Amino acid sequence: MDDSKYESLKIENIVASGAIADSIDLTEISQKIPNCELNTKRFPGAVFRIDDPKIASLIFSSGKVVLTGIRDKNALDEGLKLIIGAMQGAGVQTYDEPRVAITNIVCSYDIGKYINLNKVVITLNLENIEYEPEQFPGLVYRIKDPKIVALLFSSGKIILTGGKNLEDIKRGLAFLEQKLGSIM
């Protein structure tokens, strides 16, 4: 696939989740690790923030983690190493290989021209489109394969979410552009 075609495609957020240990004592890690907060009245896990790369991680007593705010695969790998290192430093028995995978990628894209959302709804007339401009200014288009949700705005801006890798996002975008090409 021609990557130069998707020059304006930008990763806004990557979410990854999985397990790094069999169990984690949240009280202990929140006391031993700087930037690790625990407030069980508000949330059942600890929140561990890393500044570089900028990542927020939710850590649960089950040993499961959710990482968010990631901008690229390298930042995920680097951030995961820092999290594992901090956990080990606080006495947590972590897995030799963390079982963490990307679960969602959110990207923005600018198609470069105005999109007539009413025309998209009328022309495509699909059940996988939701458009209620009095509720939300964007059109929600659920693509079945790859399983991607696209939010289209009349400005030409598009938000794509649900992909587990950039190839899926680009395939969804190509499908979308093919559908819109007959309208615009």
Regarding whether 89 and 157 lie in a shared domain, the answer is no
pLDDT at 58 over 80: yes
Residue 38, beta-bridge partner list: 46
Regarding whether 26 and 96 lie in a shared domain, the answer is yes
pLDDT on residue 127: 75
pLDDT over 90 percentage in the chain = 82
34 confidence band (pLDDT: 50, 70, 90): very high
Q: Is residue 85 within 8 Å of 77, Cβ to Cβ?
A: no
Regarding whether 164 and 134 lie in a shared domain, the answer is yes
Residue 37, beta-bridge partner list: 47
Regarding whether 98 and 121 lie in a shared domain, the answer is no
- CA 57/CA 17 separation, integer angstroms: 9
> How buried is residue 90: exposed, middle or buried, by Cβ count under 10 Å (0-12/13-18/19+)?
middle
Regarding whether 90 and 68 lie in a shared domain, the answer is yes
1 confidence band (pLDDT: 50, 70, 90): very low
Q: Is residue 92 part of a domain?
A: yes
Regarding whether 158 and 93 lie in a shared domain, the answer is no
Q: Is residue 60 part of a domain?
A: yes
Identify the domain containing residue 90 by its residue range. Answer: 16-102
* Number of structural domains in the chain: 2
- CA 22/CA 99 separation, integer angstroms: 11
Mean pLDDT to the nearest integer, 36-61: 95
Q: Is residue 111 within 8 Å of 180, Cβ to Cβ?
A: yes
pLDDT on residue 184: 66
Regarding whether 135 and 88 lie in a shared domain, the answer is no
pLDDT at 68 over 80: yes
Q: Minimal CA–CA distance to 152: which of 131, 169, 135?
A: 131
Residues 121-161: tens digit of each pLDDT: 988 877 789 999 999 999 999 999 999 999 999 999 999 99
Q: Is residue 56 within 8 Å of 82, Cβ to Cβ?
A: no
CATH number (domain holding residue 149): 3.30.310.10
Which of residues 83, 102, 121 is at a domain's end? 102
- CA 171/CA 145 separation, integer angstroms: 9
Q: Is residue 5 part of a domain?
A: no
Which of residues 52, 81, 102 is at a domain's end? 102
Regarding whether 116 and 92 lie in a shared domain, the answer is no
pLDDT at 2 over 70: no
Q: Is residue 10 part of a domain?
A: no
Regarding whether 145 and 84 lie in a shared domain, the answer is no
Regarding whether 133 and 56 lie in a shared domain, the answer is no
pLDDT at 11 over 80: yes
Cis peptide before 44 (omega within 30 of 0): no
Regarding whether 61 and 84 lie in a shared domain, the answer is yes
